[in-house]
Amino acid sequence: MQALQKTRAAAGLELVDVPTPVPADGEVLVQVRATGICGSDLHVDDWTPSYAFIAPSIPVTIGHEFVGVTQAGQRVVVRPSVTCGVCTACSENRHDACERRRGIGMTRDGAFAAWVRVPRRNCVPVPDGLSDELAALTEPLTISMQALRIAGDVTGLRVLVMGPGTIGQGIAALARRAGAAQVVVSGFDDAVRFDALRAMGFDALVDVQGQTLAEGTRPHTDGAPFDVVFEATGVPETITEALALLRRNGIVVVTGIHARPLALDLTPLVRNQQQLRGSFRPPESDWPLALALLAEMDAVLRPMVSHVLPLSQAKEGFALAHGKQASKVLLYPEVGDA
């Protein structure tokens, strides 16, 4: 079958011919319907240092945001984080606390292919009414859900979301649903992803190409500070800008994976008692909730997917995502790819 792989510890990805995987004990074979191109896939393509941890697993098929059908005919989404099954936490059924994970599409073969083998316990059934396109957004939506959880109650609050990609779009939609008084979204040279946000009903959009974040947000806030800022840019310097626009006791939630460190003057943060919080993986129990949210918010979230291309056009899909010419790009394997 065709598979999009990282084949060398260097920049680039390759569409290669590999054998159909054989499931091990406790695993099932999933026929892939659609797989999203994630920002982290772009990092793996570029071979940025924060993804060097996958080097020992090369060659590896990437792709971790996907929907497919098991051989038993069950349509499923698959949690990409594979727990070890043998550590103390796992043996006590506290899988969320496992410290020895492997990532489908990172350190074990993923879903930019016709077939992928996955642990049975990672499969979550997809409700009938939900389209494959929306179901493929489950994994990123769980990341957005976790960011909201880490922030706490946003009811009545003024919220800034930095980064208009899939995670930022999901955060914006969930913050509005949770009752935020205002949701402003910022990006850099991000016309296409702003189009998706506009179609989702957001109009307070700030492009910081050619203006500062402070200048760009002022018309929307009259200069009032934000109560909560979500960072989904992966650009460390945006944290400094966010803190300058955050109220006393306000919260910044960091979700980006940052390719380099940040030099941060902590004194204003201390004096203003601002909270800087990291957010990463949601509990496993969020997955069915994410599917229910996708069904409930179908019409709102649908514009997030801008392109659906065959796997054979992976190069074009990655170029669209890299060049910010797309919102979410999905790839689907064709009959000939199997």
Smaller CB distance to Zn ion: residue 226 or 287? 287
Q: Please report how close the Cβ of residue 190 comes to Zn ion at its closest, in angstroms.
A: 18
Q: Please report how close the Cβ of residue 224 comes to Zn ion at its closest, in angstroms.
A: 33
Smaller CB distance to Zn ion: residue 52 or 257? 257
Distance between CA atoms of 262 and 138, rounded to whole angstroms?
30
Smaller CB distance to Zn ion: residue 98 or 171? 98
Distance between CA atoms of 294 and 282, rounded to whole angstroms?
16
Pairing of strands 65-70, 75-78: antiparallel
Q: How far is residue 327 from each of residues 156, 168, 291, measured CA to CA in Å?
A: 28, 11, 20
Q: Contact 34/309 with Cβ under 8 angstroms?
A: no
Q: Which residues bind Zn ion (CB under 5 A)?
A: 38, 83-84, 87, 90, 98
Q: Please report how close the Cβ of residue 73 comes to Zn ion at its closest, in angstroms.
A: 27
Q: Please report how close the Cβ of residue 280 comes to Zn ion at its closest, in angstroms.
A: 11
CB proximity list for 297: less than 8 A, separation 6 or greater: 173, 177
Smaller CB distance to Zn ion: residue 93 or 267? 93
CB proximity list for 102: less than 8 A, separation 6 or greater: 82, 84, 108
Which amino acid is it at 75?
Answer: R
Smaller CB distance to Zn ion: residue 206 or 232? 232
Q: Please report how close the Cβ of residue 221 comes to Zn ion at its closest, in angstroms.
A: 31
Distance between CA atoms of 75 and 290, rounded to whole angstroms?
15
